[in-house]
Amino acid sequence: MCSSLPPYSSSAQVRVARRPRIGGTFVIDAADYGQTGPDFSISADELTGYAAAIPIELPPDLPLPPDNFSPRLFTRPAKSATFGVRAGRLIPGLETVPLAAPDPSPDGLWLFGANGHIVVAWRERLDAPFGAPSVAMAGDFQAGIFLRDPEVSRDCRRLYYVQQEPGPPPAYSTFSLRVAVR
């Protein structure tokens, strides 16, 4: 699953890309699977989605709501259905936590995210709220190093993430894909 962020918008349209076999070319399905916030990720059963930032569009002159960077939860009854409510709902336990790129573990008990650091929140059961996130990997704000976009592997032994650090003009930042292995 993937999402694209239209210019000047905080909503993203969910699309599915499929390929006939490993090594084959992905083809994006024409079906629309709903709108969510950006940085969309999905549970192993593909029925629960997670997104970050503001999942509603606001005029640029309005102040942002206090939960503006809190992650959102989206659900659907079947893989062929759309993710219903475009605004989603705040994730229980993380209602006031600013968190980008939320990504669930395959069992749904851990939720990885980024706030300049890579953080992780845990819950005892799928119907329980998440606890406060803790730092799993620290960025170095003083040196201008920010960690972003975590993605955990199916066996939970690898954590993929992007490291942003200062770079030369004109971009002023470099981005590198990193892997932490345990």
* Assigned domain for 115 exists: yes
Task: Decide if pLDDT at 174 tops 60.
Answer: yes
Q: Tell me how crowded residue 28 is: count the other CB atoms within 10 A of its CB.
A: 11
Task: Tell me the residue range of the domain where 53 lies.
Answer: 37-181
* Assigned domain for 25 exists: no
- Give the C-alpha separation, 38 to 74, whole Å: 12
* Residues 96-121: tens digit of each pLDDT: 888 889 999 999 999 999 999 999 99
* Assigned domain for 126 exists: yes
* Assigned domain for 24 exists: no
* Assigned domain for 7 exists: no
* Residues 30-54: tens digit of each pLDDT: 887 877 777 889 999 999 999 885 5
Task: Decide if pLDDT at 177 tops 80.
Answer: yes
CA 13 and chain centroid, separation:
14
* Assigned domain for 113 exists: yes
- Give the C-alpha separation, 18 to 43, whole Å: 17
* Assigned domain for 80 exists: yes
* Assigned domain for 96 exists: yes
The number of folded domains in the chain is 1
